[in-house]
Amino acid sequence: MPEHAQAGHAGAAPAHDHVVPVSTYVMVFLALMVGTGLTVAASYVDLGIWNTPVAMLIAVTKACLVVLFFMHLKYSPKLLWVWVGAAIFFLAQLIVGVGADYLARVFLNLGNPGT
């Protein structure tokens, strides 16, 4: 049964599907490799307390590259952005909420206002 002929609109390649050129993939790949090298190098440089934030910044940029290009989020409907954003927001809320308790209790030793 000649599938393509009868498929009509329903069967045609979904309109929004944007085919990403191979060159973009290779460029992103190289960027990721550079990022990995960078983060390893950065760990040998003594930046004081800034080491971890720098490592996280590099990791976040690499993750964004993968999400936007490899996972096509850049060309996907906005709804997917909402859900990725929601997950990250609640994860941040978890880390900040728990971290705040430890910050107050252990680091700044504000356990009890009186003691």
Partner 1 sequence: MSTHTGGTPEPYGRPGAPPPPPEPPPQPLRESVNYLNVSYGVKSWLLTTDHKRIALLYLASITVMFAIGGVFATLIRLELITPQGDMVQSETYNKLFTMHGVVMVFFFLIPSIPATLGNFLIPIMIGAKDLAFPRINLLSWYIYMLGASFTMYAMVTGGVDTGWTFYVPYSTHYSNTHVIATGLGIFITGFSSILTGLNFIVTTHKMRAPGLTWSRLPLFVWAHYATSLIMILGTPVIAVTILMVALERGLHLGIFDPALGGDPILFQHLFWFYSHPAVYIMILPAMGVISELVQGMSRKRVFGYNFIAVSSLAIAILGFLVWGHHMFVSGQSTYAGLVFSGLSYLVAIPSAIKVFNWTATLYKASISLDTPMLYAIGFIGLFTIGGLTGLFLAALGLNVHVTDTYFVVAHFHYIMVGGAIMGYLGGLHYWWPKISGRLYPEGWGRVAAIIIFVGFNLTFFPQFILGYLGMPRRYHYYPEEFQILHVMSSAGASILAVGYLLPLAYLAWSMRYGRRAGPNPWDARGLEWEIASPPPTENFLVQPVVTDKTYEYGAEEDAAIV
Partner 2 sequence: MSSGFPLFPAQASTVAGRVDALYFFLIAISGFFSLLIATLLVVFVVRYRRRRAGELPQPIHGSLALELTWTIIPLIIALGTFVWGADVFVYERRVPPGAMEVYVVGKRWMWKTQHMTGQREINELHVPIGVPVKLTMTSEDVIHSFFIPAFRTKQDVLPGRYSTAWFEATTTGTYHLFCAEYCGTKHSQMIGSIHVMEPAAFQTWLAGGATGSPAQEGEKLFQSLACITCHRADSQGRGPRLDGLFGRTVRLSTGETIVADADYIRESILNPTAKVVEGYQPIMPTFQGLVSEEGVMQLIAYIQSLQAPGAEVVAPPGAGGIKLEEGASPAPRKPKP
Partner 3 sequence: MSSLSETAHGPGAHPPVLRHHFESLLNQKESSLLGMWVFIAQEILFFGGMLTAYTIYRNLYYEGFAAGSHHLDVTLGTVNTAVLICSSLTMALGVHAAALGKRKMTVLFLLLTIALGSVFLGIKVVEYADKFHHHLVPGPGFSAESLRDAHGQPVLDGSDTARHAQMFFALYFSLTGLHALHMIIGIPIIAWMARAASQGRFGPVYYTPVEITGLYWHFVDIVWIFLFPLLYLIPHHA
Contact 43, 50 (CB under 8 A): no
**Closer Cβ to partner 3, 82 or 115, answer by number:** 82
Alpha helices by DSSP H, listed for 12-77, are: 22-44, 51-65
Site for partner 3 in 39-78 (CB under 8 A): 39-40, 42-44, 46-49, 51-52, 55-56, 58-59, 62-63, 66-67, 69-72, 76-77
Interacting span for partner 2 (CB under 8 A) from 16-24, 29-37, 41-49, 107-115: 107-115
Q: Is there binding between residue 112 and partner 1 (CB under 8 A)?
A: yes
Q: Is there binding between residue 111 and partner 1 (CB under 8 A)?
A: yes
* Residue (of 33, 54, 35, 34) closest to 43 by Cα position: 54
Distance of alpha carbon 96 from alpha carbon 108, whole angstroms = 15
